[in-house]
A and B are shown apart, each in its own frame.
Chain A
Amino acid sequence: MTLIADYIGRSARDNVLSAIAKAQDNEQYHALLSLTKERALERADAVDRGDITGKLAGVPFVVKDNFLAFGAPTTAASKMLEHFNAPLQSTAVEKLEAEGAICIGKANLDAFAHGGSTENSAYGPTKNAFDQTRVAGGSSGGSAVVTALDIVPFALGSDTGGSIRLPASFNGVVGVKPTYGTVSRYGVVAMASSTDVIGVFTTNVADAEQVMDIIAGTDPKDMTTLANFFIPKRTIESGKKIGLVKEFMTDDVDPEVRRRTLEYAQRLRDNGHIVEEVTLPIAAHTLAMYYIIVPAEVSSNLARYDGIRYGYRADGVMTLAELYGRTRDEGFVTENKRRIMIGSYVLSSGYFDAYYLQAQKARTLLITEFNTLFKDYDVLLGPVAPMPAFKLGENTSDPIKMYLADIMTVPASLAGLPAMSIPAGANSAGLPIGVQLIGQKRSDADLLALARSLEEM
């Protein structure tokens, strides 16, 4: 695997051309929706002339196609935004460009980031980097696969309920979902505003630390950003107390996934840390909370797509209701519609208290349980997903089955906690398995340093 450092000091033009050539050689994975070749080469030449400098000068990267960026449309993998050419760039992309990094393309995702497999893309699914008959995971499937295929050394994604961690685990790369508010979301297509975060895919932990260090920080254009707290740590002290979450290790979880997780726990012990089983009883209910709260926020955030000011507009309409109704029916995929309608249901006056309010109260119970555990433990450990990558089409006809892949990633999202997927080997068929480290708010640098200390073993 190529590291970020391997790209530094080389011809930026060569870096960009070889990344694009590799992307084109791997078209069968359908990881990218567009290449930004022209703009990338202009920037590469500016780096090679010395006009653009920085910590990532000449390093190519890819962004999930829900990040507004110049050089190609920002589609969010939807027909709604098929021809949307962003008039501005997301803060995360701007910060990377300010350090000389070069975006070479836009990665596939579930349309509007709704999904766990990238099969909800309006442009067809991304295939798993290790087995083309299997899913990439989602929703940031394209970003995970371009990293796993070594097309670029890092890619940006967004994570609302597992959309970075799940595809990272399915493709054997590092996937970081930071503390809620760490990275500005300005210029990223909104899904569920109370849990959406921006994070990164890399092949190794040190590269993730370097990218996080650049993109983290407060942004006046995103009022939910926290004052910058992210400072990478050189070392991690031994004797960390780590809780292995019992509810994430039930018989419903694939035995090989459990085995790899227990092996990781043993490696933590071998490194001088303490691992004990802990219990998070409300974990069993978090998926239900998530699939109330998130659709509610989705229905609100996606109300903006009305066919008037930008995006797709249906032809031949006779009434205003038809203009809205047909634009939205034709511009959204089925999963978008499911979530919007569930959101409309749980927010409607007769059901608000029983569903939405109850879920937000249950969310308080979840946060309380996490806080109790963090009085005694520094880090929580478990698998990322109950299974390795599943077959393409296996879960598409049953939304609940698809949602169950998120069962261990949604708790950290609802509580705003940092969580990451760390490669932990493979199953007997060679499919990658990831473990998840969850920390207290603002402990992102500790989690990464801990993961790096094991990687260096």
Chain B
Amino acid sequence: MTQISRADVQHLAQLSSLQLTDNEIDNLQIDIGNILGYVEQLSQLDTTGIEPTYQVTDLQNVWREDVVDDYGIGREALLALAPASDNNQIKVPKVL
């Protein structure tokens, strides 16, 4: 089983932009250690000289015309989705 430290979990949370509670850190330390322990079995596979597969479409570059398309969605519809907006702009809290 892979041991992962509490500091490791906090570092991963930071990389992931997650502000976890202490209780969550405790639980995730166990879960992530177990999951990494499970997936580590792949190190047994000999992949010497094997190319990675990143996608399975067999498609190559798919081109389109370089023109602007708003897909029929206007500014107002998008602003309406924002948690807050003001004067045709998305409003965010003041942060230091």
Contacts and interface: CB of A to CB of B under 8 A. Distances in A.
Nearest to B71: A88
Interface stretch (A136-144, A236-244, A356-364): A356-364
Contacts of B80: 85, 87
Contact of A360 (B20, B24, B32, B53): B53
26 contacts: A85-B81, A194-B55, A194-B56, A221-B71, A224-B57, A224-B62, A291-B35, A291-B38, A292-B39, A309-B78, A310-B81, A310-B82, A318-B95, A320-B95, A324-B17, A329-B21, A337-B20, A338-B28, A341-B12, A361-B45, A361-B47, A364-B47, A364-B53, A367-B56, A414-B56, A416-B57
Interface of A: 84-85, 87-88, 180-181, 194-195, 220-221, 223-224, 226, 282, 285, 287-289, 291-292, 299, 303, 306-313, 317-326, 328-329, 332, 334, 337-338, 340-346, 348, 354-355, 357-365, 367, 398-400, 403, 414-416, 441
B43 interface: yes
B7 interface: no
A309 B47 contact: no
B5 to A, nearest CB: 12
B31 interface: yes
Contacts of B35: 291, 338, 342, 399-400, 403
Interface string B1-44: 00000000100110111111100100110011011101111111
A334 B93 contact: no
Nearest to B56: A416
A152 to B, nearest CB: 28
Contacts of A344: 12, 15-16
B68 interface: no
Interface residues of B, number: 54
Contacts, number: 180
A345 B83 CA distance: 30
A306 B42 CA distance: 33
Interface of B: 9, 12-13, 15-21, 24, 27-28, 31-32, 34-36, 38-45, 47, 50-59, 62, 64, 71-73, 77-78, 80-84, 90, 92-93, 95-96
B47 to A, nearest CB: 4
Contacts of B31: 338, 399
A282 B96 CA distance: 52
B57 A180 contact: yes
B71 A337 contact: no
B81 A345 contact: no
Contact of A345 (B12, B18, B78): B12
A362 B42 CA distance: 8
B42 to A, nearest CB: 5
Nearest to A187: B71
Contact of B92 (A84, A308, A341): A308
Contacts of B82: 308-310
Contact of B93 (A84, A289, A317): A317
B50 A365 contact: yes
Contact of A329 (B20, B36, B43, B64): B20
Contact of B47 (A87, A306, A362, A398): A362
B96 to A, nearest CB: 6
Nearest to A220: B64
A161 B96 CA distance: 42
Contacts of B54: 194, 360
Given A360-B52, A362-B42, 7 more contacts: A221-B71, A226-B59, A313-B84, A328-B17, A348-B15, A355-B39, A367-B53
Given A357-B52, A365-B45, A87 B78 contact: yes
A181 B62 CA distance: 13
A5 B41 CA distance: 49
A287 B20 CA distance: 27
B59 A181 contact: yes
B96 A319 contact: yes
B44 to A, nearest CB: 8
B59 A345 contact: no
A329 B40 CA distance: 27
A84 B59 contact: no
A328 B18 contact: yes
Contacts of A84: 81
A181 B50 CA distance: 25
A358 B64 CA distance: 33
